[in-house]
């Protein structure tokens, strides 16, 4: 994980500020930094999104490819996650420095999507036991400025919202052999419902209080954090504690309640931005990930 070195005086300044609900950049404990979201930024993908949260910059591409359903779930498609920690994001990712973090993020994403409610995986099935759509979700970390998990979960949700999967028909001849026909119309496609896709809210315990959307400096003052995966209805689907420090049960309960409250607002804002961007159609100006 990208990190910064702070002197004891700087840590004391940050911790005391948080106790007074006043952070270094002027935010309160439950405030997010400005989030920039743009979809459809990579041309050769089925769906893509770029999210900038402070100095954290994430690019996500989704590629739909035909595959074979898993034996234990013969009538469902599935998602595969790959996270690339670019050395441009922080010098600490040089060589294989970012591999462990990439694996950790991918495993967290698998946990979030490993339930029936997040995405309707049955809609990705083409013919049971034979053909299904596999969604390869590639996450690229372009810059690390704190609060990686939240930014990545927002980017993944936005990219899945933007994903368009070609409509296919299964044709069966008299001998029983099946043939798959792909629609010629590029606009004849399936869209995924992302209404129940959760977002992660990371709560960092600093002193006696906790903050959302921590900067790198604030993360350096925190010994323990709680990752809460929350749906748009405020339902917690999974939870994970990170960091060396401990959390008492009362703190965990308070952090979960904050996570639910903040998560609902985050979902509402994200959905509104995604629908507004889509309503602009071809008229909208694209910034792209090089902008």
pLDDT digits (tens, 9 = 90+) for 124-146: 988 889 889 999 999 999 988 88
Q: What is the pLDDT of residues 93-128, one digit of tens each?
A: 777 777 888 899 999 999 999 877 889 999 998 888
Token output for 4:
């910064």
Cα(143)–Cα(6) distance, integer angstroms: 20
Q: What is the pLDDT of residues 17-34, one digit of tens each?
A: 999 999 999 999 999 999
Mean pLDDT on 197-223: 93
Token output for 280:
């602009």
| 84 HSE (CA, 13 A, CB side) | 11
One-letter-per-residue 3-state SS of 58-118: EEEEEEEEEECCCCCCCCCCEEEEEEEECCCCCHHHCCCCCHHHHHHHHHHHHHHHCCCCC
DSSP reduced 3-state for 11: helix
């Amino acid at each position: 994980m990208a990190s910064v070195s702070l002197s004891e005086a700087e840590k004391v300044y940050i911790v005391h500020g948080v106790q007074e609900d006043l952070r270094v950049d002027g935010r309160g404990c439950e405030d997010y930094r400005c989030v920039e979201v743009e979809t459809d930024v990579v041309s050769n993908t089925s769906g893509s999104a770029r999210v900038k949260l402070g100095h954290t910059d994430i690019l996500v591409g989704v590629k739909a490819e035909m595959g074979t359903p898993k034996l234990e779930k013969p009538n469902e498609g599935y998602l595969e996650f790959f996270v690339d920690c670019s050395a441009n994001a922080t010098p600490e990712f040089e060589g294989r420095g970012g591999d462990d973090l990439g694996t950790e993020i991918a495993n967290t994403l698998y946990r979030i999507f490993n339930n029936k409610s997040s995405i309707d995986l049955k809609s990705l099935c083409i013919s049971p036991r034979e053909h299904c759509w596999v969604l390869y979700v590639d996450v690229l970390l372009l810059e690390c400025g704190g609060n990686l998990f939240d930014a990545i979960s927002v980017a993944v949700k936005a990219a899945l919202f933007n994903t368009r999967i070609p409509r296919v028909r299964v044709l069966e001849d008299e001998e029983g052999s099946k043939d798959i026909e792909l629609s010629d119309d590029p606009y004849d496609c399936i869209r995924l419902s992302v209404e129940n896709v959760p977002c992660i809210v990371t709560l960092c315990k600093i002193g006696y209080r906790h903050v959302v959307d921590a900067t790198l400096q604030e993360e350096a003052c925190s010994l323990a954090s709680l990752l809460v995966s929350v749906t748009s209805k405020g339902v917690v689907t999974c939870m994970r504690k990170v960091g060396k420090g401990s959390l008492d049960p009362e703190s965990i309960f308070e952090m979960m309640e904050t996570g639910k409250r903040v998560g609902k607002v985050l979902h509402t804002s994200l959905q509104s931005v995604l629908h507004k961007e889509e309503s602009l159609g071809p008229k909208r100006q694209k910034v792209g990930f090089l902008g």
